[in-house]
Structure 1
Amino acid sequence: MTDLPQQTFDDAAAVLSSALDGDQDAVVGAFDAVVDRAGLSGAYGVAWCLAATIVGDPPPGSGAALEFPGIDQAEYDTRWVARFISAYANRDVPTGEALFGAAVADGQLPDCLLTLAGSTIATLRSRAG
């Protein structure tokens, strides 16, 4: 994660700040600003940062398994977040990129990123409490 530009970390912090405030429009706006400035690759970097916040540093060769009963019946954004986080935990960048591209193609990226931001905040709150 340290090979990302500082701007990516700053953008992730802005997304999280908006999510902490419960301002969904500001979360979407923060992601839109990233896309306007750095394209979809910039938004992907921010999403990868959020996954890193949830998972932490995965151990080398972690081979994490996705264990989420009923995942196939979950809403698109929930399935996407679970699989994206799993890709991060497994250091599987090609799968993360494929998931990101699929969400773009399916017109679901904004909802997926909003759910990812909410999941990150929920994780941070659970660790604090």
Structure 2
Amino acid sequence: MTDIPQHALDDAAQVLHCALSGDSDAVVGTFDAVVDRSGVVGAYDVAWCLAATMVGQNVPRGAWTLDFPGIDDARYDKRWVARFVSAYVNGDISTGEALFGAAIADGQLPDCLLALAGSTVATLRHRAA
């Protein structure tokens, strides 16, 4: 949905590898390394790649709405993941960026990125089953 640099794709693959092995410290470490190298924009690109992986290739075009009963009662990171993936599906980069900025301002970005990696892995495992 947007041009993502190759290093972001490689970093996303590393995040997924770590998440699939259950190593949450390595997931956080990979994101930290991305931020050290490429700043917040790099972490955003990796998160966008994870959302793309979660959604998959065959998403019909059109407007999508979030269907997550009880979202307002969910933990911050879970609400963030649902809304970020929704922004991805709708090609709404400005909302994705706003969500990223809000998570930074709220001091929640590490937890949100870890939840995104975990949700992506859970989706991949579900598809494989």
Settle same-fold status: TM greater than 0.5.
yes
Q: C-alpha displacement at 1:3, in angstroms?
A: 1.8
Q: C-alpha displacement at 1:4, in angstroms?
A: 1.2
Task: Indicate the residue corresponding to 1:113 in structure 2.
Answer: 113
Q: C-alpha displacement at 1:15, in angstroms?
A: 0.3
- Structure 2 residue matching 1:97: 3-state secondary structure: helix
CA distance in 1, matches of 2:110, 2:89: 22
Unaligned 5+ runs, structure 1: none
> Normalising to structure 1: TM-score of the pair?
0.96
- Written as runs of structure 1 = structure 2, the 5 A alignment for 1:35-46 is 35-46=35-46
- Written as runs of structure 1 = structure 2, the 5 A alignment for 1:1-129 is 1=1, 3-57=3-57, 58-60=59-61, 62-129=62-129
Q: C-alpha displacement at 1:28, in angstroms?
A: 0.1
- Structure 1 residue matching 2:66: 3-state secondary structure: coil
Letter in 1 for 2:60: P
CA distance in 2, matches of 1:116, 1:27: 11
* 1:32-54 C-alpha deviation (Å, 9 max, x unpaired): 00000000000000000000011
Aligned residues: 128
Unaligned 5+ runs, structure 2: none
> Normalising to structure 2: TM-score of the pair?
0.96
